[in-house]
Every structure is written in C-alpha cells, then in structure tokens.
C-alpha cells in the first residue's frame, strides 16, 4: 500500500513537472522579444531585449533565438517594435540614425564627470551612473567628445573597433555631448547639481 501511494505521488509529481516545465521546454522555442516599446531609429541595447517562448508555428519570419542577441546589439531599428513582440533580423540596420524629433544633443561638461574612459568615441553607447547613490541615470548615444581645448575628438573609424584595440587620442577626452530628450537632460542636471558636481561615471555599453 505504501509503495503504491509512493508511486502515485511520484507519478503526480512527474505530471506537474511536465505541465509546468517539460511541455514548455519540449514544445516551445525560446526567442528574442522586445522588453519594452522601441521606436524606429533607436539603437538596440541589451535592456531592450528579453526571452519569450512560443510554439514553432507562431514564429515570425527571421525570428531571432535567445543566443543571437549579440548580433543585433548596437544596430538601429527600422520599424517600431511593441513590447513583447518577437524581433526579426529584418527590423534592424547598421546605418547610423539621425536624431529623433523629440531628442537633441546636450552637453555633459567636465565638471559633471567623475570618471570616463579616454577610449570612448562618438557613436558609442554610454551609461551614466551617479557616484552619490549608484543609480543608473540613463543610457545614451555619444554625439561628440571634447578635449581640454574644447576641440572635438573624432571617431576616425575607431567606434567600430573593440574598446581595447582603439588608440588613445593625444588630447585627453574630458567632456562629451549625448543624444537625449530635454526631460532626460533636466533630470541629469538636477541630479548632478544636487550632488555638487563631478557625480557621473561614464562607461561604454556593450563594448568588448
């Protein structure tokens, strides 16, 4: 009787495991999807993507598997993508985007920056972190890099290279200009002002 009861419990456990995990693992395919609404013309970041599981017959043409995320990081969307929508390689291009109508180029002066690599170049995606409270204040594309004399440091093709393969410029990079919305910039301004300046750590996103 005890053996029979144990077998019933084991069978029930296996049934539950199949229904909760086994069926999904066997029948469903893990695909990349949008973690949030993504506008046309946006540069794809890791935070834009998540994994969903769908039946094979529901896959869209060119659907990307979870392991293919790196192939589209840094590319530009050519169409709007809504949250939870599967993503396809047809949705992206390597061409640089123009500034969206709601965005502009804003200055991050030297007095705001606590730390920034000299290898950062125009076109890079950078994340801004507050030294004071360690909050991430935003991720943005770099429009320009400035040296001590106020001159612009060009990419010279280095933006496409791995970070450690870039040649440091003779003039140290001390400031930058980023692409963001006015509301995003105002929030940055308030945060840095309240911290008394030199509150930003600037690091390149998704660079090897």
In tens, the pLDDT along 173-199 reads: 788 899 999 999 999 999 999 998 888
Residue 188 has which token pair? 């940055």
| Calpha distance 140→80 (Å, rounded) | 18
The predicted pLDDT at position 164 comes to 56
The predicted pLDDT at position 144 comes to 83
Per-residue DSSP letter, 88: B
Residue 158 has pLDDT above 50, yes or no: no
pLDDT, one tens digit per residue, over 45-63 is 888 999 998 988 888 888 9
Residue 27 has pLDDT above 90, yes or no: no
Average pLDDT, the chain: 79
- Residue of 88 and 156 predicted with greater confidence: 88
Q: Is 123 left (phi over 0), alpha (psi -120 to 50) or beta?
A: left
**What stretches of 10-167 adopt beta strand conformation (E)?**
29-34, 49-54, 76-77, 92-93, 104-108, 113-116, 125-130, 136-147, 152-153
The predicted pLDDT at position 24 comes to 53
Do 43 and 71 meet the contact criterion of CB atoms below 8 Å apart?
A: no
Confidence of residue 157 (pLDDT cuts 50, 70, 90): very low
C-alpha torsion angle, residues 77, 82, 83, 88 (rounded to 10): -50
Mean pLDDT value of segment 32-36: 93
For residue 167, the SS3 value is coil
pLDDT, one tens digit per residue, over 113-136 is 999 887 788 878 889 999 988 899
End-to-end distance of the chain based on CA atoms, in angstroms?
A: 62
The tokens 């396809």 sit on which residue? 88
Enter the pTM of the model: 0.53
């Amino acid at each position: 009787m005890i053996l029979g009861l144990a077998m019933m419990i084991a069978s029930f456990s296996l049934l539950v495991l199949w229904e909760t995990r086994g069926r999904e693992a066997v029948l469903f395919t893990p695909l990349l999807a949008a973690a949030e609404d993504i506008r046309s013309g946006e540069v794809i970041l890791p935070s834009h993507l998540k994994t969903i599981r769908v039946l094979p017959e529901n896959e869209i043409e060119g659907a990307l598997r979870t392991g293919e995320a790196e192939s589209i990081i840094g590319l530009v969307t050519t169409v709007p993508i809504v949250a939870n929508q599967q993503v396809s390689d047809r949705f992206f291009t390597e061409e640089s985007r123009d500034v969206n109508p709601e965005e502009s180029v804003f200055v991050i002066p030297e007095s705001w920056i606590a730390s920034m690599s000299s290898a950062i170049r125009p076109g890079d995606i950078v994340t801004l972190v507050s030294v004071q409270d360690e909050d991430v204040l935003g991720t943005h594309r770099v429009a320009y890099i400035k040296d001590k004399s106020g001159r612009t440091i060009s990419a010279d093709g280095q933006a496409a290279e791995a970070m450690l393969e870039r040649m440091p410029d003779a003039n140290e990079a001390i400031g930058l200009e980023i692409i963001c919305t006015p509301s995003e910039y105002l929030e940055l301004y308030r945060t840095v002002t309240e911290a008394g300046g030199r509150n930003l750590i600037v690091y390149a996103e998704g660079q090897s």
